[in-house]
Structure 1
Amino acid sequence: MSYLQLSIDSLSFTITKAHIKESLESLWRIECEGYIESLEEHPFTLDFFNSSRKDQENTFNSFPHKESTLNFHPNALINKQATFKISNPYPQSHSTSHTLDFINNALPSTLESLKDTIKSAKNKNKDTHHNQTSKDSKNSQESLDSLGRIKEYQGILCFVEYLGLNTQSSANVFHRGNLTPSLNHKHFFKLTLCSSLYRMSLNKANRIYTNKSVIEAIHSTLNFYTHDLIKPLDFSGIALHYPKLELISQYEESDLDFITRLAHNNGIYFCDVRGSICFYDSAQRHSSREITFNPNVNNTLNEPCISSVSKLQSLRAHTFSQSSQNALNPFSLESLSLKSDSLLQEGEQNNFTHSLHINEHHYSNESSFTQSSDLKTPITLKEKRLRVIEQSLNAQSNIYDLTLNESITLNFSSSLKENKESLRDFIIIGMEQELINESLLENNFNSNDNVIKKENAKHLKESVTSLMNTEQINKGNESFNPLTQNTSNALESLSSPSSLGKSHSYSNTLTLLPITFSYTPSLKSKPKAPSSTLGVVIGESEDIDGERNTIHTDNFGRVKVRINCFASQEVIDNARVKEQNNVQGKNIENNHSQGTLQNINGNTNTHTQTTNDTLSNTTQTEENIHSQENHTTNNDVENNHSQMKAYSYHYSPYLRVSSPIASISSGLYHTPRVGDEVIVSFFDEDIDKPYISASLYNQSNPALPPLPLNAHQTSLSARTLNNTKETEDTNSSIVESGLNEITLSNIKEKEQIYLQAQRDYEELIKHNFTQKIQNNKDSIVEGAYNERIKKIHTQTIDLAKIVSIGGEYNTNVALSKDTIVGLSHTLNVGASNKLRVAKDSSEYVGEDKSVEIQANLNTSIKQDENRNVGGNKREVVEGDVELDSIKGLNYRSQEHINLQAINYIDVFAKESFSTQTDKQHTETADSKYSEIQTNYSVNAGNTIIHQVGDTSITAKGDCVIIKAGGVEVVIDSKGLIVKGGEVKAE
């Protein structure tokens, strides 16, 4: 019987060679060669395979009733769940721990050993109150237990190659279960078995996780494989808390590479061992298994031991530093360097201090305003990884049932006793196994030897069986049943060809780490980001069309983007979730019908159990994925599965927006709008550091100048933002037509710069503003025009200025106003003209001034009026002239005053009327009438003459002379004298 078996559903392959490689760094992998026996010479045909593809699921669902129905086509075997079993390659006796050596004909001694084993076990069963057995009995029990210990690897077939049929050996091969020779055919295969996690390496996916921790991202990824992983997931080894990250990206990498990178770059490792897939982030303490160190190269007795220990070392950096800049304050550079004191001391003790001066520095660009770079974790992990490399050992062993991540105690010989305390406890972090079992192949051994050894084995089996019957072992005692079973296994192994001394060996190479150190995996590189990719700016929801032409940003002017290269993955994953939900529903139905399935033919029991185990595993997997602290709960998982769009990977967090000029001293600022197509680039080619580098036009988001008619234009334009609230209220998508625009038109002889402000336009010039227009300037203000000049306003017009005011024209001059007109100045006022001067008003006319008033002239002077006329003054009044004076009325003339009236002159005074002249006073009139109500006085300094024709009365100071008709009367102091006439009395 072979100690290597590969089972695929109901098929069992006998393995002749195997190479197993497993470590905490990567998945385990088994490359093996073997055969399967069949009565059929041709195990498969293409026609058979093609006809059975539709029923492929049913091909292995039950054990076939006829061997001819088996299909060994590689396409039917690939991706099948398989179990690789290793039993003890070197069965041991209870006392000597020697290999059952048939080559040296050690059959009598072996038989005696088995007799002693049975007797010792029987005595132990009788003495139930004995608390401590002898050392020999204990060793014999352990040896017998090791005969039945089986090491299993449960995984999937990832490579199948059919090697053909060995027709030469088929006549000499004994069919299993039949003692008589029969013609069987051995079909040889080359197979590769690997962990079911390998299924996660077959895809390429692009996903974005926002506001999630690395553990949550790993959970989300594993969610897609709840029905593909044949083992439950165990996160009980995760002890640390992992903060939520702004962005975790998966780009062009398989799901396995993605979770491996996330895990290893955060000090988390996982391994597929025993019955589960376990995740750890800290050292695990388990009960240790003691193993003997036996450096004897001639271990002919195959004692389970470690035979050699070796160590490799190479020169590498021993110190690490990390630096970054503060995104909020780029002037501030941050650097961190951790130097372990124990590492320095260890270097001094081992005389390699010179290598400690080799420093590995890494710069991490901080691109986010809201999440600082983690400088400590990468350095800490690098130092821990360095310790793993420097402290790990390689060991050669022949112990087949060691497992990965197992703790062992290495028991050194006395010659190395001084190192026992520091090197005894280890953890297995890697293992590579070589297994050869070619003794099963008949063409590799001599047929004569086969007959001899077969007879010896048969005699031994019969003797032991007789001995067991004689001793009458109590099979009902559970404590003795393992002995019986192990003894049967030993007897079976005696009859197997592997016991006949053919090519049969087992060895492994272990990588051991002292248990005082915690295992740390190597850091994994991120996938190289594309130089640039395309995306669309998004808003608060996934409705891009409903929020187009709006702005959704944060306090830093960043926007969210739907990155196109991640968009399709959401459709794929949601379809997969839907498919898994359907499978889960079918599994529930299968569980309900489990009782009915148990009544099917006994040949199907094995497969039915396997199916139920698989269903149990997938259900347990789904529970374990979400059962850890600080992670998604089971309720959240149910909600996610119930939604068709449970997964969204293409919506980024807020991304920074690049600008051609960005500085506190200079800049060109622009916030992309929802619906804009943008180019997404990556800092340092880091997939987790995207930013928006540019924007693109497309057919649904065209340039604002209509094309191609305006292709000659260079335009800077911005449409009025949509009102999202108004759009929601009206349940419509209103696209605003307003536009702010600066356009440069470049057609020859029609070159133009066009500026449009949809509403307000403001200019701020902090110093001079010079404007030169070499031709015309037209300015139209449809509303009010306000202009304020705090200093001087100088306007020079070389030709003419025409001001046309449709309404009022108001000029307000706080101080003085001077208007200089080189030639004529004409003021045309269509209606009234008012001039208000708060104080003095002066008017200078170099030559003549003409005022023409078509109607009345009213002048109101609150105080005095002074007029100075250098020449003559002439006033022509076609009507009356009225001069009213509240007080006096004075006319003064250096020469004369002439009052002329064609009709008459009336002088009226209520009190008195007087005229005064220094010289001559002349009155000339056709007639004069004076009516004095009371007194009338005429006073002259010399003479008063009253004359009518030749008659006169002359009054002098001393006399009065009256002349009339030639008679002269003189009256003076002397009396009355009449000359030329007589005095008569009548």
Structure 2
Amino acid sequence: MSYLQLSKDSLSFTITKAHIKESLESLWRIECEGYMESLEEHPFTLDFFNSSRKDQENTFNSFPHKESTLNFHPNALINKQATFKISNPYPQSHSTSHTLDFINNALPSTLESLKDTIKSAKNKNKDTHHNQTSKDSKNSQESLDSLGRIKEYQGILCFVEYLGLNTQSSANVFHRGNLTPSLNHKHFFKLTLCSSLYRMSLNKANRIYTNKSVIEAIHSTLNFYTHDLIKPLDFSGIALHYPKLELISQYEESDLDFITRLAHNNGIYFCDVRGSICFYDSAQRHSSREITFNPNVNNTLNEPCISSVSKLQSLRAHTFSQSSQNALNPFSLESLSLKSDSLLQEGEQNNFTHSLHINEHHYSNESSFTQSSDLKTPITLKEKRLRVIEQSLNAQSNIYDLTLNESITLNFSSSLKENKESLRDFIIIGMEQELINESLLENNFNSNDNAIKKENAKHLKESVTSLMNTEQINKGNESFNPLTQNTSNALESLSSPSSLGKSHSYSNTLTLLPITFSYTPSLKSKPKAPSSTLGVVIGESEDIDGERNTIHTDNFGRVKVRINCFASQEVIDNARVKEQNNVQGKNIENNHSQGTLQNINGNTNTHTQTTNDTLSNTTQTEENIHSQENHTTNNDVENNHSQMKAYSYHYSPYLRVSSPIASISSGLYHTPRVGDEVIVSFFDEDIDKPYISASLYNQSNPALPPLPLNAHQTSLSARTLNNTKETEDTNSSIVESGLNEITLSNIKEKEQIYLQAQRDYEELIKHNFTQKIQNNKDSIVEGAYNERIKKIHTQTIDLAKIVSIGGEYNTNVALSKDTIVGLSHTLNVGASNKLRVAKDSSEYVGEDKSVEIQANLNTSIKQDENRNVGGNKREVVEGDVELDSIKGLNYRSQEHINLQAINYIDVFAKESFSTQTDKQHTETADSKYSEIQTNYSVNAGNTIIHQVGDTSITAKGDCVIIKAGGVEVVIDSKGLIVKGGEVKAE
């Protein structure tokens, strides 16, 4: 029997050689060669396989043909679950029996021993034989269990090569007589078995995870393979807390490369061991297994031991300490001089790392909105990785059942007495195994087998078969079945080429790390980001059309983008989830139908059982995944039930928008709107550092100037934002047409700069504003025009100024107002004209002034009126002139006052009327009438003369002279004197 077996469902391959490579750095992989025994010389044909595939595509036809259960066409094996088993390669080293030796002619004695066994079994009582055989079988099984464990690798077949038949091999000529068919065909294969996680490496995916931690992103990716991982997930080894990150990107990476990069770059490693896929971020303390160090090359008893320990070291630079790879946060080189001693002790290294962080040099702009600058963690991980490389050892061993991530204690003392100083604790971080079954090298199916061994084997098998035919024990008695089985096993063991003098060969190379150091995987580089890619700006929801021409941003002017290359992946993933859900539902329905048919037919279909087992494993896997979430609640892992819904990770977090000028001192600011097509670029070619570098026009997002008619224009424009709230309230789509625009037209002789403000337009000029217009300026204000000038307003018009006011014209001057008109000034007032002066009013006319009043002139003077006329004053009144004075009325003239009336002059005074002149007072009239009601006095300083014709009365101070008719009467102090007449008394 071979100690190497590979089985897939009902198919079993005998393995002749294998190479196994596994480490905490990568997935385990088994490359092996072996054969399968079959009754058929041609076990598969292409036509048969194609028909079998058609049957499998029909989910309701769950009962394949009989031949399909034995089909091992490479297409039927690839990507199928299989188990690779390793049993103890050296069972003879633990047993007192000797190995069968055909070369030393041990066949006769062995054959006689078998004969005695069969005869003794026949002569015993059936019941006694049954009890004794069962007891012996149980004791034998317990003994075998104590001799060694069976090491299993459960995975998938990722490579299958059919080599063909070898009809010349000695193993193909053995027969079991007429009782059983002859297994005379051996089909040889090259097979590669790998971890089921390998299925995650067969794709290239683009995904964006926002506001998730590293553990959550790994969980989300693994959920796509719930039905494919075979084994449950175990996150109980995650002890640290991982904060949520703004952005985690997967670009053109397989899912395996993605989770490996996330895990390793955060100090997390995972391995497929012990029936589960385990994740760790810290050293695990398991019970240690003590192993002896035995450097003796002649280990004839095959004692389980480590035979040699080696160490390979090469000179390497501390790249993490000799240079700064991030310009945002460079390190002070003085703080990065590593000491080799500090690498030996964890505590000292922690102190060194702490001091290293204190001496960091920071720039003020170290924080990026999209990806925070964090050099501490990578630097620390690089230091730990360096310690792993420096402290790891290589060891040679013959122990087959060691497992990855297992703790061992290596005893370097040859004494059986425990010596703690000679014990060293390690953890296995890598293992490479070479397994050769030298007794079964039939994979070289062109080899010439040894003729003597072939004849001996043939003679042995024919003799034993004949013995079984002649000494056959009751075939139907079940109590004898164990002995029959043991005899068959012994027969196969004796007839196998392992008894032809060949032996097993097993060795492994271990990579050991002292347990005082925690394992840290190597850091993985990120995929190179594209120089740029396309995206569409999105809003609060995924309804781009419903929110088009709106703005959704944060406090820093960043926007979210649906990146096209990630959106297609979302469609693929959602289709896959839907397909998995459908398959799961159909499998449940098929299992119910298959169970009914099995009850009717009374048999169990192998394919149906396989389907049931697959579904059971899938369900168990789901339960294990969900149960493991309890171990990662401290890392904020979301419930995986939500992951079975539609995936939505095509949109980015808030991304910064590039601008030609952007600083606290200057800038050109623009916020892309929902529905805009943008170009997404990446800082430092880092897929986790996207930003919006530009925008593009397209068919659904055309340029605002109508094209190609206005292709000559250069425009800066912005349409009025749509009101999404109003759209929701009215249950309608409102598309705004308003536009703010600055357009430069460049047609010759029609060059133009056009500015449009949809509503308000404001200018702020903190100093001078100079405007020069070399031709005309037209300004139309359809509403009010308000202008305020806090200082002087100077306006110079070289030619004419025409002001046309349709309504009122109000001028309010707080202080003085001076108007200078070089020539004439004409004021045309269509209706009334009022002039209000709060204080004095002066008017200067250099020459003549003419006032023409078509109607009345009313002048109201509250106080005095003074007029100074340098020349003559002439007033012509076609009607009456009335002059009313509440008090006096004074007329003064330096020469004369002339009152003329064509008709009459009427002077009326209720009280006194007086005239006074310093010289002559002359009154000339045709007649004069005086009526004095009371007194009439005439007072003269010298003489008063009353004369009518020749008659006169002259009154002097000393006399009165009366002349009449030639008679003169003088009255004075002397008396009365009559001259020229007589005095008569009548």
The bucket for the TM-score relative to the shorter chain is 0.7 to 0.9
Greater shift in the superposed pair: 53-62 or 954-963:
53-62
CA distance, structure 2, for counterparts of residue 499 and residue 358 of structure 1: 70
Greater shift in the superposed pair: 135-144 or 726-735:
135-144
Describe the SS at the equivalent of 1:442.
coil
Deviation at 1:461, TM superposition (A): 12
Deviation at 1:4, TM superposition (A): 1.9
CA distance, structure 2, for counterparts of residue 674 and residue 630 of structure 1: 40
Greater shift in the superposed pair: 879-888 or 497-506:
497-506
CA distance, structure 2, for counterparts of residue 260 and residue 225 of structure 1: 15
Deviation at 1:181, TM superposition (A): 9.3
What's the counterpart of residue 572 of structure 2?
572
Deviation at 1:831, TM superposition (A): 0.8
Relative to the length of structure 1, the TM-score reads: 0.87
Deviation at 1:173, TM superposition (A): 3.9
Distance 1:202 1:946, change over 3 A: same
Deviation at 1:751, TM superposition (A): 0.5
Greater shift in the superposed pair: 636-645 or 531-540:
636-645
Q: Structure 1, residues 137-193: CA drift from partner, whole Å, max 9, x if none?
A: 999999743656322211111112222333433784436898989473332222211
Please say if residues 62 and 594 of structure 2, whose CA atoms lie closer than 8 Å, have aligned partners that are also in contact.
no
Deviation at 1:35, TM superposition (A): 2.1
Please say if residues 38 and 187 of structure 1, whose CA atoms lie closer than 8 Å, have aligned partners that are also in contact.
yes
Please say if residues 268 and 281 of structure 1, whose CA atoms lie closer than 8 Å, have aligned partners that are also in contact.
yes
Please say if residues 214 and 242 of structure 1, whose CA atoms lie closer than 8 Å, have aligned partners that are also in contact.
yes
Describe the SS at the equivalent of 2:386.
helix
Greater shift in the superposed pair: 954-963 or 221-230:
954-963
Deviation at 1:69, TM superposition (A): 7.4
Distance 1:767 1:178, change over 3 A: farther
What's the counterpart of residue 757 of structure 1?
757
Please say if residues 324 and 335 of structure 1, whose CA atoms lie closer than 8 Å, have aligned partners that are also in contact.
no
Q: Structure 1, residues 113-142: CA drift from partner, whole Å, max 9, x if none?
A: 999999999999999999999999999999
CA distance, structure 2, for counterparts of residue 970 and residue 258 of structure 1: 159
Distance 1:274 1:461, change over 3 A: farther
Deviation at 1:377, TM superposition (A): 2.0
Please say if residues 34 and 443 of structure 2, whose CA atoms lie closer than 8 Å, have aligned partners that are also in contact.
no
Deviation at 1:830, TM superposition (A): 0.7
Please say if residues 721 and 736 of structure 1, whose CA atoms lie closer than 8 Å, have aligned partners that are also in contact.
yes
Deviation at 1:888, TM superposition (A): 1.3
What's the counterpart of residue 6 of structure 2?
6
CA distance, structure 2, for counterparts of residue 326 and residue 254 of structure 1: 27
Distance 1:357 1:955, change over 3 A: closer
Please say if residues 678 and 693 of structure 2, whose CA atoms lie closer than 8 Å, have aligned partners that are also in contact.
yes
User: What pairs up with 1:918-933 in 2 under 5 angstroms?
Assistant: 918-933=918-933
Deviation at 1:422, TM superposition (A): 7.2
Please say if residues 94 and 142 of structure 1, whose CA atoms lie closer than 8 Å, have aligned partners that are also in contact.
no
What's the counterpart of residue 76 of structure 2?
76
Distance 1:364 1:186, change over 3 A: farther
Please say if residues 308 and 397 of structure 1, whose CA atoms lie closer than 8 Å, have aligned partners that are also in contact.
yes
Please say if residues 93 and 143 of structure 1, whose CA atoms lie closer than 8 Å, have aligned partners that are also in contact.
no
Please say if residues 111 and 460 of structure 2, whose CA atoms lie closer than 8 Å, have aligned partners that are also in contact.
yes
Distance 1:754 1:324, change over 3 A: farther
Please say if residues 393 and 512 of structure 2, whose CA atoms lie closer than 8 Å, have aligned partners that are also in contact.
yes
Describe the SS at the equivalent of 1:193.
strand
Distance 1:547 1:233, change over 3 A: same
Greater shift in the superposed pair: 13-22 or 50-59:
50-59
Distance 1:610 1:175, change over 3 A: farther
CA distance, structure 1, for counterparts of residue 327 and residue 201 of structure 2: 36
Give the length in aligned residue pairs: 986
Distance 1:72 1:521, change over 3 A: same
Distance 1:328 1:377, change over 3 A: closer
Greater shift in the superposed pair: 906-915 or 330-339:
330-339
Deviation at 1:28, TM superposition (A): 1.0
Greater shift in the superposed pair: 514-523 or 628-637:
628-637
Deviation at 1:750, TM superposition (A): 0.4
Please say if residues 317 and 355 of structure 1, whose CA atoms lie closer than 8 Å, have aligned partners that are also in contact.
no
Relative to the length of structure 2, the TM-score reads: 0.87
Distance 1:100 1:394, change over 3 A: farther
What's the counterpart of residue 791 of structure 1?
791
What's the counterpart of residue 252 of structure 1?
252
CA distance, structure 1, for counterparts of residue 706 and residue 757 of structure 2: 18
Deviation at 1:362, TM superposition (A): 13
Describe the SS at the equivalent of 2:57.
helix
Deviation at 1:771, TM superposition (A): 0.1
Distance 1:506 1:534, change over 3 A: same
Distance 1:314 1:581, change over 3 A: same
Greater shift in the superposed pair: 415-424 or 270-279:
415-424
CA distance, structure 2, for counterparts of residue 120 and residue 333 of structure 1: 86
What's the counterpart of residue 536 of structure 1?
536
Describe the SS at the equivalent of 2:261.
helix
Deviation at 1:365, TM superposition (A): 9.2
Distance 1:556 1:268, change over 3 A: same
Deviation at 1:204, TM superposition (A): 0.9
CA distance, structure 2, for counterparts of residue 462 and residue 746 of structure 1: 106
CA distance, structure 1, for counterparts of residue 123 and residue 294 of structure 2: 33
CA distance, structure 1, for counterparts of residue 425 and residue 472 of structure 2: 44
Q: Structure 1, residues 447-473: CA drift from partner, whole Å, max 9, x if none?
A: 999787799999999999999999999
Deviation at 1:440, TM superposition (A): 2.3
Distance 1:597 1:368, change over 3 A: farther
Please say if residues 944 and 955 of structure 1, whose CA atoms lie closer than 8 Å, have aligned partners that are also in contact.
yes
Describe the SS at the equivalent of 2:450.
helix
Distance 1:56 1:932, change over 3 A: same
Describe the SS at the equivalent of 2:192.
strand
CA distance, structure 2, for counterparts of residue 189 and residue 881 of structure 1: 144
What's the counterpart of residue 356 of structure 1?
356
Deviation at 1:270, TM superposition (A): 1.2
User: What pairs up with 1:495-506 in 2 under 5 angstroms?
Assistant: 495-502=495-502, 504-506=504-506
Deviation at 1:539, TM superposition (A): 0.9
Please say if residues 324 and 331 of structure 2, whose CA atoms lie closer than 8 Å, have aligned partners that are also in contact.
no
Deviation at 1:605, TM superposition (A): 7.0
Please say if residues 547 and 724 of structure 1, whose CA atoms lie closer than 8 Å, have aligned partners that are also in contact.
yes
Deviation at 1:445, TM superposition (A): 11
CA distance, structure 1, for counterparts of residue 848 and residue 497 of structure 2: 147
List alignment gaps of at least 5 residues for structure 1: none
Please say if residues 306 and 398 of structure 1, whose CA atoms lie closer than 8 Å, have aligned partners that are also in contact.
yes
Describe the SS at the equivalent of 1:600.
helix
Distance 1:936 1:682, change over 3 A: same
Describe the SS at the equivalent of 2:744.
strand
Please say if residues 963 and 969 of structure 2, whose CA atoms lie closer than 8 Å, have aligned partners that are also in contact.
yes
Distance 1:679 1:362, change over 3 A: farther
What's the counterpart of residue 615 of structure 1?
615
Q: Structure 1, residues 75-105: CA drift from partner, whole Å, max 9, x if none?
A: 2222122222222222134467997777678
Describe the SS at the equivalent of 2:636.
helix
What's the counterpart of residue 32 of structure 1?
32
Distance 1:780 1:14, change over 3 A: same
CA distance, structure 2, for counterparts of residue 871 and residue 329 of structure 1: 97
Greater shift in the superposed pair: 468-477 or 717-726:
468-477
Distance 1:548 1:588, change over 3 A: same
Greater shift in the superposed pair: 749-758 or 590-599:
590-599
Deviation at 1:981, TM superposition (A): 2.8
Distance 1:756 1:653, change over 3 A: same
Greater shift in the superposed pair: 253-262 or 235-244:
235-244
Q: Structure 1, residues 701-725: CA drift from partner, whole Å, max 9, x if none?
A: 1111111111111111111111111
Please say if residues 91 and 146 of structure 1, whose CA atoms lie closer than 8 Å, have aligned partners that are also in contact.
no
Please say if residues 197 and 229 of structure 2, whose CA atoms lie closer than 8 Å, have aligned partners that are also in contact.
yes
CA distance, structure 2, for counterparts of residue 117 and residue 916 of structure 1: 188
Deviation at 1:527, TM superposition (A): 1.1
Describe the SS at the equivalent of 1:96.
coil
Distance 1:302 1:744, change over 3 A: same
Deviation at 1:550, TM superposition (A): 1.0
Deviation at 1:237, TM superposition (A): 1.7
Distance 1:33 1:892, change over 3 A: same
Describe the SS at the equivalent of 2:617.
helix
Describe the SS at the equivalent of 2:152.
strand
Distance 1:668 1:216, change over 3 A: same
Distance 1:274 1:95, change over 3 A: same
Q: Structure 1, residues 641-673: CA drift from partner, whole Å, max 9, x if none?
A: 689862101111111111111122211111111
Please say if residues 88 and 400 of structure 1, whose CA atoms lie closer than 8 Å, have aligned partners that are also in contact.
yes
User: What pairs up with 1:569-968 in 2 under 5 angstroms?
Assistant: 569-589=569-589, 610-629=610-629, 646-968=646-968
Distance 1:498 1:554, change over 3 A: same
Percent sequence identity over matched residues?
100
Over the aligned positions, Cα root-mean-square deviation in angstroms equals 6.1
Please say if residues 327 and 368 of structure 1, whose CA atoms lie closer than 8 Å, have aligned partners that are also in contact.
no
Please say if residues 241 and 635 of structure 2, whose CA atoms lie closer than 8 Å, have aligned partners that are also in contact.
no
Deviation at 1:426, TM superposition (A): 1.6
Please say if residues 170 and 454 of structure 2, whose CA atoms lie closer than 8 Å, have aligned partners that are also in contact.
no
